Structure 1
Amino acid sequence: MIKSMTGFAQTVFSDKSVQITIAVRTYNNRFLDINMRLNNAFLPLEDRIKSYIASRIFRGRVELAIQLSSQEKLRNGNIAVNWPMAMTYFGLLTELKKRLNIPGPLELSDLLSLKDLVVYQESTFPEEVLWQKLVPPLKKTFNALQKMRSEEGRNLGRDLLKRLQIIRKGVNRISKKIPQVIEAYQVRLKERIKKISKEVDVDPIRLAQEVAVMADRADISEELIRLGSHLKQMEALFKEPQAIGKKMEFLLQEMNRETNTIGSKSMDSEIAYQVVSIKSELEKLREQVQNIE
């Protein structure tokens, strides 16, 4: 099954005690690369979250952000005074007024304007309780992500199949041309040798053997068979349930190698044209496969 490596999903989960916001983006990458930005409360769950991601995503860069808000804080404005900091500020301001001979009393507003004096108190939850709250929205988020990646993968798959069909047609055209090309090559080779044999005595049996060897070296039948086999393997990958991107990359490398060999062996202009066409489609396939998980 083809899945794109790019996608996005977001979920907001709320109950009586917490609100959890999860956002995930995925990008192209040769290997699995997980990056997370977690609320401090989720840091003890980091390994569990990574394991869950690895069970759903097999290749690509994953950027996950999870935020936690206490519903008690949202409803009642659960705030507190940072008393140690308040005492420090008070002492510093008192000393400052004294040294600079600033008249008048120290006002409460002077303290309240200072940074971090009044803070929100985050609710804390036991690790297992927090994990149980996190799992449902985490699954929902990744289900939505996989749906998006699968939809894009289907679009990619349709285009890949079209290009594979173009390559198959090119291979078939080359295959039909082989007997004619080999025969023409043998004729040209014999004519050249005849010209030489007029000047030099040549053993006819040895001559026939050399012609056969030279013709065999120009034969591209084996390369075409392997190229056709790789095409079948590529098409079969579409039915596999697991990640197939790396397998496709390998098969495309092999197909490109066989195509290059065909091009170097053949002197026929029509075959050369088909080789250029096949290589062009292989390059387009290679670019698209880089976005397949």
Structure 2
Amino acid sequence: QASDLLRLDIIASEAEAALSPEEAWPAVEEALRAALKDFLAMRAAEGANLKADVLSKLETLEEYRNRIAEHAPSVPVRLREAMLKRLAEADLSVSADDERIIREVALFADKCDISEEITRLSSHFDQFRTLCDSSAPAGRPLDFLCQEIFREFNTIGSKANDSTLSHLVVAAKTELEKIREQVQNIE
């Protein structure tokens, strides 16, 4: 109400309050336009800062994905070595060429294969960048992609059976949570 505005000193004097709506409208319209322009500029600046922050964190996720992809092939090799070592410690002489060892390592390698998850992560990261560069509202699609990225890292962690991979997955999920918090502020 006008009386509330007067108490808040938004309207400088009662004389100005006595203006008719037609007389006051040009000044009000000018003030509204200026406020709207400032609001939109502030929103654009905040959006640009959010985008830069989220894309920076996405690069960190890509680094984790790359480190995971580099380390993953060594996991079955280390299992084979650990198996042979345990068998030797138990005084069971088994050759590394023994078909049973080869079969066991092959089964393990198949169970811990994360190549599909690595590929899907790459796709999700590309989609994420595309959405960030789009002028369309992207908040919900980005939030959905965060869920999908989380799911891929979670699957990698489940398949890992390796402490190095597990640590990388935990670090990636922590970084992803930071992205998700920011994404939830995006329209």
Change (3 A) 1:207 1:75: closer
1:150 and 2:44 are equivalent in the alignment: yes
C-alpha contact (below 8 Å) 1:190/1:211 kept by paired residues: no
Which of 56, 71, 78 aligns to 1:162? It is 56
How far residue 269 of structure 1 moved from its aligned partner, in angstroms, is: 1.5
- 8 A Cα contact 1:223 1:261, kept in partner: yes
Q: 1:177 aligns with which of 49, 71, 84?
A: 71
Match of 1:230 among 106, 120, 124: 124
Percent identity reads 39
Q: How many residues align?
A: 167
C-alpha distance 214-137 of structure 1, shift in aligned 2 (>3 A): same
Question: Which residue pairs with 2:170 in the alignment?
Answer: 276
Deviations 1:154-208 (A, max 9, x none): 11112112111111111111111121113223555678899xxx8xxxxx87886
What residue ranges of structure 1 are gaps of 5+ in the alignment?
A: 1-37, 40-68, 79-122, 199-203
Q: Tell me if the contact between 2:138 and 2:186 (Cα under 8 Å) persists in the aligned partners.
A: yes
Q: Deviations over 1:7-45 (max 9, x none)?
A: xxxxxxxxxxxxxxxxxxxxxxxxxxxxxxx99xxxxxx
TM-score by length of 2: 0.71
Partner of 1:217: 111
* Greater share of residues in helix: 2
- Larger proportion of strand: 1
> Matches of 1:174 and 1:145 in 2, distance apart?
43
SS at match of 1:238: helix
* In 2, Cα distance between equivalents of 1:134 and 1:169: 52
- Structure 1's 77 and 255: CA in aligned 2 closer, same or farther, altered over 3 A? closer
SS, match of residue 158 in structure 1: helix
Q: CA RMSD in A?
A: 3.6
Gaps of 5+ in 2: 3-10, 93-97
Separation in structure 2 between the aligned mates of residue 160 and residue 76 of structure 1, nearest angstrom = 48
Amino acid at match of 1:221: S
Q: TM-score, normalised by structure 1?
A: 0.48
SS at match of 1:224: helix
After superposition, where does 1:74-113 map in structure 2 within 5 Å? 74=15, 77=18
State how far apart, in whole Å, the 1-side matches of 2:17 and 2:112 are.
84
Rg comparison, structure with higher value = 1
Partner of 2:150: 256
AA aligned to 1:282 is L
CA contact (8 A) 1:256 1:279 kept: yes
